[in-house]
Structures are given as structure tokens and as C-alpha cells.
Chains A and B, each alone.
Chain A
Amino acid sequence: KAGVTQTPRYLIKTRGQQVTLSCSPISGHRSVSWYQQTPGQGLQFLFEYFSETQRNKGNFPGRFSGRQFSNSRSEMNVSTLELGDSALYLCASSPRGGRGAKETQYFGPGTRLLVL
């Protein structure tokens, strides 16, 4: 079974631009979560989607948004990029998601975004 795939793997943008990142979960998985990883803040939760609905949202500004399609693939969008948005963006999928996250989440390799 193929793992979680994320595209693109690397991206360079300039301040003020917007960017869209894509995540394809493991086949059959319906929950997709997004995380931002930076050297200073570590891994921080952005949002979770399940059955095309945002189920949880982290403490990020409205410039960060996402969506999930009927095939469970997910995209996240960052508008009006700032230098501080440079990070590794990770996507994780799990079969159902659920209370207390007692099922395994499988992470993709991430998209490394550099904002100049």
C-alpha cells in the first residue's frame, strides 16, 4: 500500500504570494491532518479534515486554510506569504481519526517551503 504522498516536495516563493500544497492520504484513510514544523516552534497542528469537513483547527491566522475532497485528498493554502511561513509542512492520515487519536497517524515526507 502506498504511503502518504505530498506535492511538491520543495517550493520557493516570495513574500506576498500565495501557495497551495497537496496531500494524498493512504488509500482508505479518511482523516487528514496538517502540521507546520519549524526549528523554533517545532511541530504545530494546523487543522484536521474528515469526510470533507474541518474537524479541528490550530492556532494559526486565517491566511492558512485547507480543504478536503471526496476522495480524501487534501490541500492547504497559505495566502499573503510571510518570511515566517518558511517551514516544513507535514500531512498525516489515519483511517478514521477520532477521540484521543488512539489510531496511528502516518506522516508524509512533507513539503519544504522557503519564503524569500
Chain B
Amino acid sequence: TQLLEQSPQFLSIQEGENLTVYCNSSSVFSSLQWYRQEPGEGPVLLVTVVTGGEVKKLKRLTFQFGDARKDSSLHITAAQPGDTGLYLCAGALDNAGNMLTFGGGTRLMVKP
């Protein structure tokens, strides 16, 4: 059982549609990070959320950290083909140094 459950695992949508990716846990995280990974590359950080209830926006991407700091969501508005990739959430537990616990990932494909 993964500490961080990410859903859905796969998502195939048409350009212009909206989507939401969820990341859930029974553990409390001191911070939660969202990454995007392209084939053959390492994950690239999109955002870090650290405060319960925090909402951050990055152009068409909206990230939310749950009030209890156990869950997070990533919402993409009007998806574009360039958004295609693997989206990963990763939580940091307090007293765990730099260790990140990753969700299983959501593979997004946006078709033109």
C-alpha cells in the first residue's frame, strides 16, 4: 500500500478540457510538492505547498493543499497538448530530512 495514493493513474483528454488529479494520504505532511516528468528526464518541480488550505496558481494550473495537510489536488484548466506528461505528487514528513514519499503518478495525455 502506497503512503500517498494518487488518482487517476491514467488520463486521456481532448485539448481544452479541464482535469483534476488527486493525491491522498492518511499521514500528515509538512509539505507537498508536485512534479512533472517528461520521458528520459528527471522530475521538474511545479510547486511546493506547505500550509494547510493553501492554494497556489501557476498559469492554468491550480494546486491545493488540504486543511489537514493529508491531501492535495492539481487542477488544469483548458489543457493543452504541451501539458502531456507524468505528474507526480510527493510529500515530505517532518523529521525526515529531504526524503520525499512519491505518489504513483498520473500519466496525462492531451490530444489535439
Q: Which residues from chain A sit less than 8 Å from chain B, CB to CB?
A: 4, 31, 33, 35, 42-45, 48, 50, 55-56, 58, 90, 92, 94, 97-102, 104-110
- Check if B45 sits within 8 Å of A105, measured CB to CB: yes
- Check if B42 sits within 8 Å of A109, measured CB to CB: yes
What CA separation (Å) do A24 and B101 show in the bound complex? 23
What CA separation (Å) do A19 and B101 show in the bound complex? 25
For B95, the chain A residues whose CB sits under 8 A away are 99
Whole-angstrom distance between the Cβ of A94 and the nearest chain B Cβ? 6
Number of A-B contacts (CB under 8 A): 88
For A100, the chain B residues whose CB sits under 8 A away are 30-31, 50, 92-94, 96
What CA separation (Å) do A94 and B90 show in the bound complex? 15
Residue tally, chain B, CB below 8 Å to A? 29
- Check if B42 sits within 8 Å of A48, measured CB to CB: no
For B98, the chain A residues whose CB sits under 8 A away are 31, 33, 48, 50, 55-56, 92, 94, 97-98, 101, 105
Given known A99-B30, A100-B31, contact A4–B100 (CB-CB < 8 A): no
